[in-house]
Structure 1
């Protein structure tokens, strides 16, 4: 699930627990444990890495730009190393955080051959796309298309993860009200919280 249905909370008595796979578009989900509160909200912590098929109506599509579109894309050299790119795509490292901080950004990774890998970011709603083209022994290249600069957003989220002492997924939690899904780091009322 990307969004927890309000009906689940309404059908659970205060003090009851909802346990579900949950996550953002960017990476695998987590096992989320929510406790329903008397005010009709629910709150709880994230847990371990889970790989489940997305609920049908919450699945994401990806973009497949043509060669002409790719050749016309904005192109730059990323400042990140191969190790940092690994951290950006690994659940237990920064990927979960990036997913929480960069909404509607779907990650795909394709190994072209033993020496080439494409890391792609997709937002079909805005027709925005980014690719990090990795080649063993060569400089990486970033291509970006569309109004959103998805690579720039993911890079900024990775920088935030580094500055925030590299929080692991189990340090995050979620509070759900009738109108919002609010993610928080460490404590629901702490300094670091934002609406998804």
Structure 2
């Protein structure tokens, strides 16, 4: 019943409005003004944990505060883009992990503590792209950018870690796509132009375009899998992603 439900809200004004609305509806839900990332031990153990903000890293505290067999549902993605998906994790019987496949794509407001500051372009490229190494690529704009809720960018985010991808607006038949490294000042830019081969510039210890191109080839070789073929696992040591087989996972 509603008396066993706890909702946690970080914004005090929103929490107060929630209390008023719930009181008016006659639902005895407990509203806590606090950080939901830490969960709320006082109400544990929980059968269901439903998260309504986008995450980049799931806290193991949620597994600790859930019953074996409990379900944790949360929007999740990488810093690569806003192309998130709904993760549905089931807590293991021994309570030491939670895992499950993704559902469909989604976009949520990000958890405040996990939002990245805007990329300072000039900190990466103070002059022009001409300072980078120039190559060409046969990858097409459509294959790389895909639709807003397509699985491609989500998959690339799983395979190109610690990177922010920015797809600029298209002007006069040209669209630049940028890559910024989060652990150093590596950067790349792919310029897609209608009717022409893409030009690429990249610089830094990492070759970010090469990584992205390889990730795209990996995704296409496996039949361009949708969100539902990917999964996420959470343990005290961290989180890992997998495609089709949970035993074949990698750290994310």
- TM-score norm. by structure 2 comes to 0.70
Q: Within 5 A, what are the aligned runs for 1:30-179?
A: 30-39=85-94, 40-60=96-116, 61-65=118-122, 66=125, 68-87=127-146, 91-179=149-237
List gaps (5 residues or longer) in structure 1. Answer: none
Instruction: Give the structure with higher Rg (CA).
Output: 2
Does the 8 Å contact 1:63/1:123 carry over to 2?
no
**Structure 1 residues 141 and 194 mapped into 2: Cα distance closer, same or farther (>3 Å)?**
same
- Tell me how far apart the structure 2 counterparts of residues 149 and 13 of structure 1 sit (CA, whole Å): 44
Does the 8 Å contact 2:190/2:199 carry over to 1?
yes
**2:60 aligned with 1:6:** yes
Secondary structure of the corresponding residue to residue 150 of structure 2: helix
**Structure 1 residues 135 and 127 mapped into 2: Cα distance closer, same or farther (>3 Å)?**
same
> C-alpha displacement at 1:112, in angstroms?
4.9
Does the 8 Å contact 1:63/1:127 carry over to 2?
no
Higher relative contact order, structure no. (Cα contacts within 8 Å, ≥ 6 residues apart): 1
> C-alpha displacement at 1:156, in angstroms?
0.6
CA deviation string 1:48-74 (max 9, x = no partner): 111112212222342413452522111
Secondary structure of the corresponding residue to residue 155 of structure 2: helix
- Tell me how far apart the structure 2 counterparts of residues 150 and 21 of structure 1 sit (CA, whole Å): 26
Cα RMSD over matched residues? 1.9
- Tell me how far apart the structure 1 counterparts of residues 149 and 170 of structure 2 sit (CA, whole Å): 22
Does the 8 Å contact 1:26/1:107 carry over to 2?
yes
CA deviation string 1:95-150 (max 9, x = no partner): 22111111111111111524221111111321111111122233321111211111
Number of matched residues? Answer: 193
List gaps (5 residues or longer) in structure 2. Answer: 1-54
